[in-house]
Amino acid sequence: MSGLEDVVACDSSICRIAVEDGRGILEYRGYDIHDLAKNSSYEEVAYLLLFGDLPSKRELEKFKEELAMQRSLPAQIIGLLTHLPPFTHPMVVLRTATSYLGSMDKYIHYKSHEMSIEKSISLIAKFPTVVAYFHRIRSGQNLVHPREDLDHAANFLYMLHGEEPTETMAKCLDLDMILHAEHELNASTFAARIAASTLADIYASIVAATGTLLGPLHGGASQKVMEMLREIAVPWRAESYVREKLEKGERIMGFGHRVYRRVMDPRTLELKSLAKRLAEERNPKWYEISEAVEEAVYKYKGLLPNVDFYSASVYATLGIPDDLYVNIFAIGRISGWCAHVIEQYENNRLIRPRANYIGPERRGYIPFDERP
């Protein structure tokens, strides 16, 4: 009951997660995550999540074109990004910009399937631009505008770094975004569905989700993982670091999962091999420390890494600043959030659970001047 563990809160046809035969299972609309990771692209997965089926070649081309055309930000949003204090956490920026985008949508309260899909495509397209623009503004660099000829992941790296990524870098981020696109009723998606269940607009639902994702027990963990890897600095220091933290009763970020208990998160398997590939090609440092931490946490606590653990070393190797890690998660997860909001609208009943009251028993009111 605590933390709603194992409580089933709704029916959904978007994502299945399970533990079967000692293995973690993750499927988007019936497709195994390993098949999607091997064969698809982020755009294809976003289409699958929004529309329920894999696109035909023509449908995918059209969807990619729509995404590419929607990447630009209105001048007011760019103004907002320049006015926010540069120390604002980029995830706070993203949720503020989402709210502002809502205020600029004349049809904000329209919830037909077609309108919700249109708004979703716009949000999926604009999230990377908001993140890249804010990062360049806060670091005093010129804006690099989106390019329609680049795929979703490649375009984000291009806008962030100001140069076209290598094929490997773009492929790595694309895969990372596929792995982060959806994960059933995790805390941020549940927050989005609760907001949608009141028939609040889609922007309000996504603001609720972005706010919830930032917490270090959820998407904020990968930034904390990187802080830990930097503190450890060399692989041989990992074991004593982990032991001391656990002896003090502290948590090791990037380990443990509510659903994949004692089995490997299937996304971690993919991310670990991605991190290894990047390490071999670019820089082995963060991967080697990560592996040493993984061994030590398993030795002293029997816990396995979750999706946030190896994503930290992947992002560091891609040259992404630490405080953008959770934004990268959001850039991937936005398609899953939108799919859930649409599903909630289409078969809605207000989500309103009960609390088990444990406060004082009924007591008489004491007038103010009779109190000590």
Which residues belong to the active site? 257, 308
Phi-psi region of 8 (alpha: psi -120 to 50; beta: other; left: phi over 0): beta
Q: How far apart are CA 331 and CA 67, in angstroms?
A: 13
For ligand ACO, the binding residue among 301, 321, 322, 348 (CB under 6 A) is 301
Site for ligand ACO contains 221 (CB under 6 A): yes
What's the token pair of residue 303?
A: 């816990």
Q: How far apart are CA 60 and CA 71, in angstroms?
A: 17
Write 53-62 long-range contacts (CB < 8 A, 24+): 53/29
Least CB distance to ligand ACO at residue 8 (A): 16
Site for ligand ACO contains 90 (CB under 6 A): no
Site for ligand ACO contains 255 (CB under 6 A): yes
Site for ligand ACO contains 252 (CB under 6 A): yes
For ligand ACO, the binding residue among 120, 268, 306, 327 (CB under 6 A) is 306
Least CB distance to ligand ACO at residue 109 (A): 31
Nearest to 64 by CA among 94, 98, 32, 41: 41
In the region spanning residues 308 to 347, those forming contacts with ligand ACO, defined by CB under 6 A, are 308
Least CB distance to ligand ACO at residue 1 (A): 12
Site for ligand ACO contains 253 (CB under 6 A): yes
The nearer residue to ligand ACO, 102 or 254, going by C-beta atoms, is 254
For ligand ACO, the binding residue among 307, 312, 318, 338 (CB under 6 A) is 307
Least CB distance to ligand ACO at residue 161 (A): 25
Q: What is the DSSP letter of 323?
A: G
Q: Which residue has the tokens 């007011």?
A: 76
Least CB distance to ligand ACO at residue 184 (A): 11
Site for ligand ACO contains 257 (CB under 6 A): yes
Stretch that binds ligand ACO, among 20-28, 29-37, 155-163, 214-222 (CB under 6 A): 214-222
Q: What phi and psi, each to the nearest 5 degrees, are found at residue 186?
A: -65, 170
For ligand ACO, the binding residue among 218, 243, 282, 285 (CB under 6 A) is 218
Stretch that binds ligand ACO, among 132-140, 229-237, 306-314, 335-343 (CB under 6 A): 306-314
Site for ligand ACO contains 100 (CB under 6 A): no
How would DSSP label each residue in 172-223? HHHHHHHHHS--TT-HHHHHHHHHHHTT--HHHHHHHHHHHHTSTTTTTHHH
Q: How far apart are CA 92 and CA 13, in angstroms?
A: 30
Q: What is the DSSP letter of 237?
A: G
The nearer residue to ligand ACO, 212 or 344, going by C-beta atoms, is 212
Least CB distance to ligand ACO at residue 227 (A): 13
What's the token pair of residue 5?
A: 């563990």
Stretch that binds ligand ACO, among 87-95, 149-157, 162-170, 298-306 (CB under 6 A): 298-306
The nearer residue to ligand ACO, 199 or 217, going by C-beta atoms, is 217
- How deeply is 46 buried, as exposed, middle or buried, from its count of CB atoms within 10 A (0-12, 13-18, 19+)? buried
For ligand ACO, the binding residue among 251, 277, 282, 285 (CB under 6 A) is 251
Stretch that binds ligand ACO, among 69-77, 117-125, 153-161, 248-256 (CB under 6 A): 248-256
Is the dihedral angle over the CA atoms 323, 325, 329, 334 positive or is it negative?
A: positive
Please count the residues of this chain forming the interface with ligand ACO, following the rule CB under 6 A.
Answer: 19
Q: How far apart are the first and last CA of the chain?
A: 39
| Contact of 215 with 188, CB cutoff 8 Å | no
Residue 44 β-bridge partners: none
Task: List interacting residues with ligand ACO (CB under 6 A).
Answer: 3, 186, 217-219, 221, 251-258, 301, 303, 306-308
